[in-house]
């Protein structure tokens, strides 16, 4: 058969007959898939090849359909096999014959073949069937050249000898990848503090470069890793608001893109602090001793964590004078390593100190006490609750320290009836352990009361809800 070469020049003007229902779109960068068809005759056999998208991008799926049609005046022809020829950067995924899935018999780097038999696929000039349709579906690979003409075609074998049209078309041009660059940066940092800037490029490839900018000034660059993320360590040298962005540089495979600006507030470096523990003398088992930590520079903010060895005793807010205090009741005699760790506050770094405290045995003849907690029903986030501790014996005096976990809620003196109270505004919902630590006084030993409660979240319609768990005193 004759091979009359009629081909479409991709990227230029669409040429050659367009099958009904398909729009011809030339050039890259179109918003939707641009299909194209080409039709030719070889003798009395008419061929129509249609590609669903001749301007695809990496990762797209395209279909190539070839229709064989026998015109009047010819003789019946039996198609034995059809081979579709494609760019090597396309990967064949499936095939269909006359709209139904069909197994691919064999394939190579740039071809895929389906096979029938001597009588399976006839095309006849008068009686049906007059046509047969063969469809191959491909995935566009990352190794496709961009904006270059890539040829397609077919060959087949039949009872009339078949034909070869390996470059007949339509041709395709793989467009540059669209890319999107996003920057992940901290909202706040300090002068001299190294922070990570992470740029993620959707559509980029490992090894491609990303530039990082502070305003209009380039501060560095880094390659994309296998996850398409480029990371740069930035150490700001000036305070103020910094407008950070990342720019992905265009390559032969992908368009360039730039992230939106991300504002990073850079403040001066934290000044150092020191924490001093006041000496603790005369400590005894079951008797109160005051742990007093003084933070310099003085100022309210942050907390001091008091620890006895590896056990956290309490987290206490630092007051305006830089002081945090906690009433500690030792439960065992001997040497105790007491640590006070200041968390830091805005502009001031944290610090830690420790001291050894000797604890004597409990005084002989002291009276044991009990402490029982009572909490209002249905505790709810942001709703004030009254917590009451009843100390027995009731006339001993002393103080009660109330805690939510390790965080100090407040401290109350014990009145003549043995009662201490505090107002608690829960900040977190869920299971909470509330503790009342009675300090002891005179010849009355300390004691602890605990109660598990479930704090309900802020209601979104309806009243607050919650429940209490087991309550006990010791």
pLDDT digits (tens, 9 = 90+) for 264-311: 999 988 899 999 999 999 999 988 999 999 999 999 999 999 999 999
Structure tokens at 382: 């942001």
Q: What is the DSSP letter of 282?
A: S
Q: Which of 10-14, 96-100, 109-113, 396-400 has the lowest mean pLDDT?
A: 10-14
Instruction: Enumerate domains of the chain plus CATH numbers.
Output: 36-165 (2.60.40.1170), 180-267 (2.60.40.10), 274-359 (2.60.40.10), 370-473 (2.60.40.10)
- At 461 the pLDDT is 59
Closest CA to 244 of 196, 205, 208, 193: 196
Q: Which residues contact 285 (CB under 8 A, 6 or more apart)?
A: 330, 331, 332, 333, 359, 360, 361, 362
Q: What is the mean pLDDT of residues 384-403?
A: 93
Structure tokens at 11: 């990227």
Closest CA to 174 of 107, 86, 97, 294: 86
Q: What is the mean pLDDT of residues 228-233?
A: 96
pLDDT digits (tens, 9 = 90+) for 94-153: 999 999 999 999 999 999 999 999 999 999 998 899 999 999 999 999 999 999 999 999
**Residue 252 to residues 37, 50, 146, 459: CA-CA distances in angstroms?**
28, 28, 7, 56
Residue 347 confidence class, pLDDT cut points 50, 70, 90: confident
First to last CA, the chain: 103
Structure tokens at 2: 């004759």
């Amino acid at each position: 058969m004759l091979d009359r070469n009629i081909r479409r020049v991709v990227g230029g003007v669409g040429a050659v007959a367009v099958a009904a229902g398909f729009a011809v779109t030339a050039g890259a960068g179109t918003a939707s898939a641009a299909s194209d068809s080409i039709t030719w005759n070889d003798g009395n056999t008419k061929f129509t090849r249609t590609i669903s998208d001749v301007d695809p991008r990496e990762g797209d799926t395209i279909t190539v359909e070839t229709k064989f049609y026998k015109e009047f005046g010819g003789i019946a022809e039996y198609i034995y096999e059809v081979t579709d020829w494609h760019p090597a950067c396309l990967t064949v995924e499936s095939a269909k014959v006359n709209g139904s899935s069909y197994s691919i018999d064999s394939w190579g780097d740039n071809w895929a073949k389906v096979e029938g038999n001597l009588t399976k696929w006839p095309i006849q000039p008068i009686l049906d069937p007059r046509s047969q349709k063969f469809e191959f579906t491909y995935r566009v690979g990352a190794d496709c050249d961009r904006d270059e003409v890539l040829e397609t075609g077919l060959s087949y074998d039949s009872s009339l000898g078949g034909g070869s049209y390996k470059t007949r078309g339509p041709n395709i041009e793989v467009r540059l990848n669209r890319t999107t660059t996003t920057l992940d940066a901290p909202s706040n940092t300090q002068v001299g503090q190294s922070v990570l800037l992470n740029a993620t490029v959707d559509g980029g490839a490992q090894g491609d470069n990303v530039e990082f900018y502070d305003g209009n000034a380039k501060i560095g660059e880094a390659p994309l890793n296998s996850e398409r993320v480029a990371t740069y360590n930035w150490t700001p040298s000036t305070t103020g608001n910094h407008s950070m962005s990342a720019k992905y540089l265009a390559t032969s495979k992908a368009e360039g893109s730039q992230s939106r600006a991300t504002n990073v507030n850079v403040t001066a470096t934290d000044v150092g602090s020191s924490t001093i523990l006041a000496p603790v003398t005369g400590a005894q088992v079951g008797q109160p001793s005051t742990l007093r930590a003084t933070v310099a520079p003085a100022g309210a903010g942050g907390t001091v964590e008091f620890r006895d060895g590896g056990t956290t005793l309490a987290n206490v807010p630092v007051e305006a004078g830089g002081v945090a205090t906690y009433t500690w009741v030792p439960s065992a005699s001997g040497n105790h390593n007491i640590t006070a760790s200041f968390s830091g506050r805005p502009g001031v770094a944290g610090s830690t100190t420790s001291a050894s405290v000797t604890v004597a045995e409990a005084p002989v003849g002291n009276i044991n006490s009990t402490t029982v907690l009572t909490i209002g029903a249905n505790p709810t986030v942001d709703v004030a609750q009254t917590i009451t501790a009843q100390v027995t014996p009731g006339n001993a005096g002393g103080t009660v320290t109330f805690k939510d976990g390790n965080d100090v809620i407040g401290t109350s003196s014990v009145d003549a009836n043995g009662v201490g109270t505090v107002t608690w505004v829960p900040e977190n919902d869920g299971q909470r352990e509330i503790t009342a630590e009675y300090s002891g006084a005179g010849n009355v030993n300390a004691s602890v009361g605990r109660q598990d409660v479930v704090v309900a979240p802020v209601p979104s319609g309806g009243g607050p809800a919650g429940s209490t768990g087991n309550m006990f005193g010791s």
